[in-house]
Amino acid sequence: MQALLKLTDDQLVADYAKGNNEAFDVLLKRHQARVFSYILHIVKNRDVADDIFQETFVKAIMTIKQGRYTETGKFSAWISRIAHNLIIDYYRQEKSENTVSTDDDDTDMLNRRDLCEENIEHHLITDQIHKDVRRIVMALPDSQREVLLMRYYRNMSFKEIADATNVSINTALGRMRYAILNMRRIAEEYNIVLTL
């Protein structure tokens, strides 16, 4: 580990691409404070910043493991650019989720079920389902939870998951299968209904 601390960022990236996971640990420690501060300064929300920070380094891991990292400049600039792009994606998504267009003539703003107050029961049930799903996911073993979160919440392919977790695609698929089976078992065991 001491020898790795003396290497440049590009040397560490090359080592990590060859399979030395400790090399990435050094890169992470070297850049995490600056990258996280940058993200937090822009989004001003610690939870959102945590998510974007993790996604930044997951994306970096996948890019390096897939051999798509090119030494066109400094690693620090490259990782900051990934974070910056993810921040832009976050704001785009926020904007699209909070925008309702009235340009469409077929849209009747006064007769939309999803905007109607009398539909509060539907929202309460949906919120409860989301809470139950989160509790079930948190009860899964770490390896299964990790694969499930990457697949459903980060939209990663099983190839990307396998690369990010340093396992074979079959192992990633197996963990997902067991995660789903365990979720069903936990839901049945605690009598949790996950549909409206």
What is the tens place of the pLDDT at every residue in 122-174?
A: 666 677 777 888 888 888 899 999 998 888 888 888 888 888 899 988 888 88
What is the tens place of the pLDDT at every residue in 78-116?
A: 998 899 889 888 888 887 766 555 555 555 545 455 555
What is the identity of the amino acid at 96? S
What percent of the chain stands above pLDDT 90? Answer: 15
What is the tens place of the pLDDT at every residue in 43-67?
A: 889 999 999 998 998 888 888 888 8
Tokens of 141: 């073993």
Classify residue 102 by burial, with Cβ atoms within 10 Å: 0-12, 13-18, 19+.
Answer: exposed
The CA-atom distances, in angstroms, between 26 and each of 49, 171, 173 are: 21, 27, 29
Q: Confirm whether pTM is higher than 0.85.
A: no
* 172 and 148 Cβ atoms separated by less than 8 Å: no
DSSP code for 140: S
pLDDT at residue 118 in the model: 47
Q: Is the pLDDT of residue 194 over 70?
A: no
Average pLDDT over residues 69-79: 82
Sketch out the chain's domains with CATH numbers: 2-96 (1.10.1740.10), 119-189 (1.10.10.10)
DSSP code for 103: -
Question: How far out from the chain centre does Cα 85 lie?
Answer: 14
Tokens of 5: 């601390």
Rounded to the nearest 5°, which phi and psi values hold at 166? Answer: 60, 45
Q: Which of 196, 192, 57 shows the shortest CA–CA distance to 134?
A: 192
pLDDT at residue 32 in the model: 92
| Cα dihedral 86/89/90/96 (nearest 10) | 180
Q: Which of 93, 80, 73, 68 shows the shortest CA–CA distance to 160?
A: 68
Q: How confident is the model at residue 29 (pLDDT cuts 50, 70, 90)?
A: very high
The angle formed by the CA atoms of residues 90, 176 and 93, to the nearest 5 degrees, is: 10
